[in-house]
Structure 1
Amino acid sequence: MTGAWKPVLRRSSVLRHDRVRGTDLLVLPERVVVLRGNAGSVLRLCDGAHDVDAIVAELSRRHPGAPVADEVPGFLGRLREEGLLV
């Protein structure tokens, strides 16, 4: 899942930080998804301007040594399959 796809959150969803829980939330009309780890920082880069390769590059810069290239494309692909990203 690399290349020209420039993921963006679907129109009806909002990414918010819950200060009480200390975590990021993806708020949808029908549910709330509690995001774990760095999922929120990944989704903040899903703005329609960054393609998957650029997202991986930015996260690799922020988190040297992390398996970003192995994990992020699959994560984004799963969110796309669930209809959370377009």
Structure 2
Amino acid sequence: MNETAPRQRTVISAESKPAMPRYIKMRHDAGRDRWIILAPERLFDPDPIAVEVLKLCDGARTVGEIAEHLAKEYNAPREDIEADIVTMLQDLADKGVVKA
């Protein structure tokens, strides 16, 4: 009998280095002037804040580094930004849109 192992849940933390898998694409829809995320048989419509975070998810930067960058750019508390990023990326990781 060939049983497949259950999928392991990716847990996002400040040390995670998030990136989108190769088969997930973020594209700008010029006709509607919005960003979309294309996944197999799914389409996501991220808000402008999520787009800014996802643009920085390159697999090299940690969530903490992304939060630091955005805190400086938007003059906002780093801890608040980091908490929001972790929550957002965890939701996307659970949907298979982000890996870490």
TM-score for both structures, normalised by structure 1: 0.86
Structure 1 portions without partners, runs of 5+: none
User: More deviation in 33-42 or 48-57?
Assistant: 33-42
What does 1:19-58 correspond to in 2, within 5 Å?
Answer: 19-58=30-69
What does 1:1-86 correspond to in 2, within 5 Å?
Answer: 1-65=12-76, 67-86=80-99
Q: Which amino acid aligns with 1:69?
A: E
SS at match of 2:44: strand
Aligned residues: 86
Measured on the aligned residues, the alpha-carbon RMSD in Å equals 1.6
* Cα displacement string for residues 22-45 of structure 1 (whole angstroms, at most 9, x for unaligned residues): 211111121211111221111111
SS at match of 1:38: helix
State the distance in 2 between where 1:8 and 1:69 align.
16
* Cα displacement string for residues 30-76 of structure 1 (whole angstroms, at most 9, x for unaligned residues): 12111112211111111100111011111112211374233111101
User: More deviation in 60-69 or 11-20?
Assistant: 60-69
Work out the percentage of aligned pairs sharing the same amino acid: 28
State the distance in 1 between where 2:75 and 2:16 align.
24
Based on CA coordinates, which of the two structures has the bigger radius of gyration? Answer: 2
Structure 2 portions without partners, runs of 5+: 1-11
Runs of 4+ residues deviating >3 angstroms = none
